Amino acid sequence: MEGAPPTLVWGTNISVQDVNQAVQRFLRNYREKPTDQEGKYIQLLEQVMEMEEDSLNVNARNILEYDEDLYVKMVRYPLEVLAIFDIVLMDMAVRLRPLWEKHIQVRIFNLKDTVNMRDLNPSDIEKMVSVKGMIIRCSSIIPEIKESFFRCLVCGYSPPPSGVDRGQVEEPTRCGRPECAALNSMALIHNRCRFADKQIVRLQETPDAIPEGETPHTVSLLMHDRLVDAAKPGDRVEITGVFRAMSVRVGPTQRTLKSLFKTYIDCLHLKKSDKGRLQAEDPLERDIQSDNYASFHEGDISPLEQEEQIQKLKALSKLPDIYERLTRSLAPSIWELEDIKKGLLCQLFGGTAKKLKSGASFRGDMNVLMVGDPGTSKSQLLQYVHKLAPRGIYTSGRGSSAVGLTAYVTKDPETGETVLESGALVLSDRGICCIDEFDKMSDNARSMLHEVMEQQTVSVAKSGIIATLNARTSVLACANPSGSRYNPRMSVIDNIQLPPTLLSRFDLIYLVLDKPDEQTDRRLARHLVALHYENPEVQSQQSLDLPTLTAYVTYARQHIHPKLSDEAAEDLISGYVAMRRKGNFPGSSKKVITATPRQLESLIRISEALARIRYSDVVERCDAAEALRLLEVALQQSATDHSTGTIDMDLITTGVSASERTRRASLVMAVRNLISEKMQAGGSTMRLMQLLEELRKESSSELSLQDLRTALTSLASEGVISFQGDGIRRL
Amino acid sequence: MVGKAYDCVLNPLGAVRFLFDKEVGSGPIDAHGRDWGVHGLFTRTLFEDGGLSQVPEINSVPLHSIPANSLVRFRGMVQDMFNSEYYIGAYKDGDAWRTTKYSDVAAVPSCSESSMKIWERRPLYCVPVPGENLWVKDAFTPLDAQLPHSPTCSDPITNRKRSRPEEEMDAEDTEMITDVTETAPDNKRSCEGADLNLETKNCHDDPCNLNMPLGEKKLLPCLVKVYDGLDADLKLNDVVEFIGVLTFDPELTVHPGTVGESVDCIHGSFLDEDISAQLPASRVPRLHSILHRKLSSDQLFQAMPMNTLGQLYPDALSRSSFEELRSSLVARFTEVLGGDGLAAEYLLLHLLSRVHARVEPMAVGKLSLNIVEPRPMKDGSTSFIQMVSHTISTLLPRSHLMSLSLEFLNEKLIAPKKNYSSNRLMTGDLQLADGTHLMLDETVLRSGQLNDIGLQNVHFLKNMMEWQKVEYDFEFYKMEMSTDVAVLVLSAARSRLFPSDVVLPLRPTRGFSSDFPVENLWRWRIYLAAARAGDHTIDPTIQKVLEEELVSARQEDRSLGPEVFHRWLTLARLLSLSYGESTLSLERWNMVREMERRLTERLRVC
């Protein structure tokens, strides 16, 4: 040791002066971009002083970037380094404004690593940590004495207020005035003491951080001043603070300690997780973020890795078969139902919400209803989407009274305050609310859905409180047909038995019908056997795993906002007009689900979602075509006999493989060509068998009577021919 | 001293300290308190040198007969897992380091930070295994400590008769206990403060706070503290045997009352995670676990003391005895079920079922069974239900009969729920260890109003049957816990409330018989456990055949959906396992198809 020994942080070899200089350098010189005129924190400090605030937020990543050594010291010895930070800050403040007196506190946030709550261990004590979790309880505000003020009861003398350390008030034993010096005469004057707010908050692990088969861990947080009441129970937060263990004396007077410690985190900074980390970096993204999009799930990866992951997702989106691949990855354990899965995929991605200058807004969320026979794995699909959706809520229509499908008002048993407890729909704001057994839901609860599904809000008027809560949620519902099994002899509407007002709010209505087909049976059989005997052959099909899928969806929802191209718009319009015309088929009036302007909106949403799936910023013609197809398939439009509203079971296209579809389409083409060749409009009828013969002559492939009937029916629905019994007539 | 300086069983802490001193002598003290050879020593003494049999079980031996700080065993289910506890693991007393590991030291002298080490341990709240049957308990009880009655039950009637006096005794016992607690304050009338504390404590002592599963009254729960991160392989609802130090420090439970109105009080309510404070040491013994081993249902038999099993175990596993045991067991079930052979087969397969894979959200391998006995009232069908339940309870290690009366369903939630004010998971009847058998008696369900709780309970049961999952309510979110509980529903008509994988209308040809030969019991138990745990694969050629079979079956009958195929495949697997075969043969597959054909025929008549 030479010269004046540097002051060291107790128990270490860290020099206070060194740290002091490092902090000064950092605060003065750190610039986000080298081109910036003034240091970032100088600017921020000026802002803080302008607003008369009492704390300055410092991004720990900036420190890491600027001076790694300082960062390491700060994390390991936060108490000492933060004290130095505060001193330096005061200096700077006084230099900026000589009369400045207020204390400005440093709040560090955004540490490099977030610790898992259950990984905290004794070696983290007295270190700076960052933990994510959900707040479960908040204590009432505790006034903590900061400065004590005494007055002598004998002579009235009061010494200047003295600071209080950790709640221990040092009561002077005798009066400080030499003339008086009365023993035990000093009394604490409460009104003139200075108090600070304090609050104890309990943080619990969020479900995604809990390993399977464990219960969630909790940790106590100590909040001071501004942080008090900054978060409410139920909030997901990321906090930065100092992990501390407190030894407890056995009794107030004894010298022995309890062998158990109480641990807590002295909270420095609190960030609600909903506003993702990206916000701090990129002001452009702020708008999207503040709109409360489910944030990109980052876990504890650094921006570099994050960038890498985004690149990976983008590479995925470039794959030509990404649409099919995603479809496959959705609920791989459920067989077939490909078109339904595609619809659900669109729902997950969602369309873009639009807000017009006039104030009118259009929802981007899609609602999907599945109606179908029991045992067609509807519930399983629901369960799966619920797991995948950013904020999925699963509820059964039957138990909705217990689950609380909407918000309701309760009295807090402790405080007697009237509280709004939000139900499933509000909880799934920006997510997907899955409702099973939709048909069993009481009319009352269902009527609430009207508002939710179009205006995306829930109004509650109870106990004198009228509140409108946001419920920007997609609804995924499934129901059984009215007769519990689909009755082919009844019309679609009669089978679904839901009020048309509600039906029209669903973008996609799927009829999930069971239909015989040997090909699908075979695949089903193979699938099931493999499921029971873990055959690797089938599982090797290319699909994305769940985390990748979630990341893919989340990124798309956040960053891709496709716009309709003119050609796509044209296509959608003509498709819509055609659909409208079909609905107006004479005599069909109330028997089929007719297209309304809502369907046009649906089409736009679906095509936007399809573009999103490709990470494309423009809705192309192919998207429009697929959207039209999806809508059509969903309603089994092509299979519906529009005059009676019933469905021809042979014509159902759900579950029909793509190759089969093209085969059918080409058959229809062939028949159409043949008819236009051989027959004259309004001419004589042609026998069915005759036509079959002709066709068989032309085509080499096998052709059954059934196939022909199918083709003719679809031609009939287009209005090209009329088809009665055995005779065909061209119109 | 000659030989060992300590006795592992009687003075385990002596051994711990001895090794600690040796460790301290050899170098600087470890900051994390890692193991210093204690595991090794105890593993050697207990498992290799056969010391285990000398270690008393606190499940069966009354607590007061065991001296504090001695080595004990506890068999239980992990019911709740708490936050890690930070404690002063070692401190400097004068010049010498002392350790408090594996003990409950209430207080250490105040000393500077450099002369103490903070280590961590994980407290787990363990309860007696829910639904564990008497014969398992008896098997673990050393012979000399066993109650005078014979361990194996012979008849449900006499069994019930015998249990009567016990219950009465129980009632007396608890009365006596309350008497004691009531008179206790009298002795201390002199100091009023203490009196108050005791009384407030008594209110907290009510059994619900002990969270005993399935209304268990006799046995004790246990607060187990696990060291050195050994809890990593423990999960909620695991059945585990802990071997460790039994401690009793009354000071620890007295403190919370006496702290009084210091500033800490507010902290106390929020910060204090010391669960011990809530649980009186007299009701909940503390065990500092040195070693533990998991007891899943097939490992249970290996863990049993040798004297009960003798040479039975290897014998029961041989192939020929497998078939013989199977046929005798099916014959036995046929008796119980009134001569219905088909039902007996299904019952056997049902008892063998377990979840062997999960393809989210499906649980593959489960087989819930619904036995329909349409004449509930004639010749006392309660006895029929009793009989089935009794038969199962004598064969499986863990089983539970749940009578689904309206009152039961409406009374309280059967799924666990977190109580944040006491920071504990309040158990529910559905918090069961894997491999537990659950029997639902739907015949007692009368028509009436189901309230909110009832609705949720029905939903929980359905969920469990369908997905083998139970939702634990953590207020701000629900967590689904996977379970593996075979569910048997007994109802008077096909149960619509709880749809099962197999619906089986009973066709009794004679009265339900109840006499139970004792001689084969142990062999059956072992057979069931071994067959259940068996591994099973399929040949590619057979796989092709199966596929063809399924396709053609579906072509014939469109009503056959995926769920039927699931059932067939599950049944085929279980049937092979029941014969002790590890691959599926065509013969077994055809047997399954035949069984299913007969069942369908039966259902059609219905």
Mean pLDDT, all residues of chain B:
74
Query: Where is average pLDDT lowest: A470-474, A534-538, B137-141, B601-605?
Result: A534-538
A399 contacts B459? CB cut-off 8 A: yes
The domain boundary, picked from B533, B560, B589, lies at B533
Q: Are residues B379 and B389 in the same domain?
A: yes
CB-based contact, B121 to chain A, within 8 Å: no
Q: Which domain holds residue B520?
A: 312-533
B456 contacts A122? CB cut-off 8 A: no
Rounded-to-integer distance, Cα B350 and Cα A61, Å? 58
The domain boundary, picked from B303, B329, B362, lies at B303
CB-based contact, A419 to chain B, within 8 Å: no
As beta bridge partners, residue B256 has none
Q: In CATH, what number is assigned to the domain containing residue B384? A: 3.40.50.300
Q: Scanning every residue of chain A, which has its alpha carbon at the shortest distance from the alpha carbon of B238?
A: A213
Among residues 367-406 of chain A, which lie with CB inside 8 Å of chain B? 375-377, 380, 383-384, 387, 396, 398-399, 401-402
Q: Which amino acid belongs to residue B400?
A: H
Question: In a 3-state reduction of DSSP, which class is residue B340?
Answer: coil
The C-alpha angle with vertex B109 and arms to B107 and B111, in degrees rounded to 5, equals 130
As beta bridge partners, residue B226 has B122, B289
Q: Are residues B327 and B297 in the same domain?
A: no
Closest of A246, A325, A238 to residue B87, by C-alpha: A246
CB-based contact, B364 to chain A, within 8 Å: yes
- State mean pLDDT over B456-461: 82
A-chain residues near B263 (CB < 8 A): 167
Enter the tokens of residue A14: 């860290």
CB-based contact, A232 to chain B, within 8 Å: no
B-chain residues near A383 (CB < 8 A): 361, 467
CB-based contact, B320 to chain A, within 8 Å: no
Most confident stretch, A335-344, A409-418, B306-315, B407-416: B407-416
The domain boundary, picked from B533, B566, B597, lies at B533
Write down the pLDDT at residue B340: 86
The secondary structure of A178-196 as a DSSP string is TTT--BT-EEE-GGGSEEE
- State mean pLDDT over B346-359: 87
* Residue B2, in any domain of the structure: no
- What is the distance in angstroms between the Cα of B175 and the nearest Cα belonging to chain A? 34
CB-based contact, B573 to chain A, within 8 Å: yes
> Which of A142, A246, A533 lies closest to B537 in CB terms?
A533
A-chain residues near B237 (CB < 8 A): 213
Rounded-to-integer distance, Cα A497 and Cα A482, Å? 6
CB-based contact, A486 to chain B, within 8 Å: no
* Residue B35, in any domain of the structure: yes
Across the A:B interface, residue pairs with CB atoms under 8 Å apart total 205
Closest of A431, A392, A203, A208 to residue A300, by C-alpha: A208
B561 contacts A380? CB cut-off 8 A: no
Among B223, B360, B458, the strongest candidate for a mutation testing the A interface, having the largest count of A CBs within 10 A, is B360
pTM: 0.69
pLDDT, one tens digit per residue, over B537-567 is: 877 888 888 888 888 887 777 677 778 888 8
Write down the pLDDT at residue A542: 61
Cβ neighbors of B565 (< 8 A, separation 6 or more) are A524, A525, A528, B550
* Residue B5, in any domain of the structure: no
A-chain residues near B83 (CB < 8 A): 217-219
* Residue B1, in any domain of the structure: no
- What is the distance in angstroms between the Cα of B542 and the nearest Cα belonging to chain A? 10
> Could you tell me how many residues make up chain A?
731
Q: CA neighbours within 13 Å on the CB side: how many for A382?
A: 25
Alpha-carbon distance values, B297 to A212, B234, B301, B425 (Å): 20, 15, 8, 24
Write down the pLDDT at residue B347: 92
Checking if the pLDDT of B162 tops 60, the result is: no
Checking if the pLDDT of B461 tops 70, the result is: yes
* Residue B354, in any domain of the structure: yes
Checking if the pLDDT of B595 tops 60, the result is: yes
Q: Are residues B280 and B334 in the same domain?
A: no
Q: Are residues B504 and B601 in the same domain?
A: no
Dihedral Cα B40, B246, B167, B488, nearest 10 deg: -40
Write down the pLDDT at residue B349: 92
Cis peptide bond upstream of B361, omega within 30: yes
The ipTM (two decimal places) reads 0.74
Most confident stretch, A328-332, B109-113, B374-378, B597-601: B597-601
Rounded-to-integer distance, Cα A230 and Cα A203, Å? 13
pLDDT, one tens digit per residue, over B237-289 is: 889 989 888 887 655 544 444 333 333 444 444 444 556 666 777 778 888 88
Q: What percent of chain B has pLDDT over 90?
A: 5
Q: Are residues B286 and B364 in the same domain?
A: no
Enter the tokens of residue B312: 């039975």
> Which of A202, A259, A402 lies closest to B106 in CB terms?
A259
A-chain residues near B29 (CB < 8 A): none
Rounded-to-integer distance, Cα A43 and Cα A51, Å? 12
Question: In a 3-state reduction of DSSP, which class is residue A490?
Answer: coil
The conformational region for residue B71 under phi > 0 = left, psi -120 to 50 = alpha, else beta, is beta
As beta bridge partners, residue B85 has B121
Write down the pLDDT at residue A162: 76
Q: Are residues B317 and B354 in the same domain?
A: yes
Checking if the pLDDT of B350 tops 90, the result is: yes
pLDDT lower than 50: segments of chain A:
1-3, 274-303, 399-412, 414-422, 535-540, 587-591, 638, 642, 649-657
* Residue B321, in any domain of the structure: yes
CB-based contact, B95 to chain A, within 8 Å: no
The C-alpha angle with vertex B33 and arms to B27 and B36, in degrees rounded to 5, equals 60
Q: Are residues B146 and B218 in the same domain?
A: yes
Contacts 24+ apart (CB under 8 A), B404-408: B404/B440, B404/B441, B404/B442, B404/B444, B404/B445, B405/B444, B405/B445, B405/B446, B406/B445, B406/B446, B406/B448, B406/B449, B406/B450, B406/B454
The band of B39, judged by pLDDT with boundaries at 50, 70 and 90, is confident
A399 contacts B550? CB cut-off 8 A: no
Q: Are residues B454 and B572 in the same domain?
A: no
CB-based contact, B105 to chain A, within 8 Å: yes
Q: Are residues B207 and B284 in the same domain?
A: yes
Q: Are residues B242 and B382 in the same domain?
A: no
**Number of domains into which chain B is organized:** 3
Query: Where is average pLDDT lowest: A714-723, B83-92, B154-163?
Result: B154-163
A383 contacts B361? CB cut-off 8 A: yes
Q: Are residues B284 and B347 in the same domain?
A: no
Q: Scanning every residue of chain A, which has its alpha carbon at the shortest distance from the alpha carbon of B100?
A: A259
pLDDT, one tens digit per residue, over A533-548 is: 664 444 445 667 777 7
The conformational region for residue A222 under phi > 0 = left, psi -120 to 50 = alpha, else beta, is beta
Q: Are residues B34 and B88 in the same domain?
A: yes
The band of B438, judged by pLDDT with boundaries at 50, 70 and 90, is very high
Write down the pLDDT at residue B106: 60
CB-based contact, B205 to chain A, within 8 Å: no
Write down the pLDDT at residue B487: 92
Rounded-to-integer distance, Cα A318 and Cα A335, Å? 26
* Residue B387, in any domain of the structure: yes
* Residue B157, in any domain of the structure: yes
Checking if the pLDDT of B364 tops 60, the result is: yes
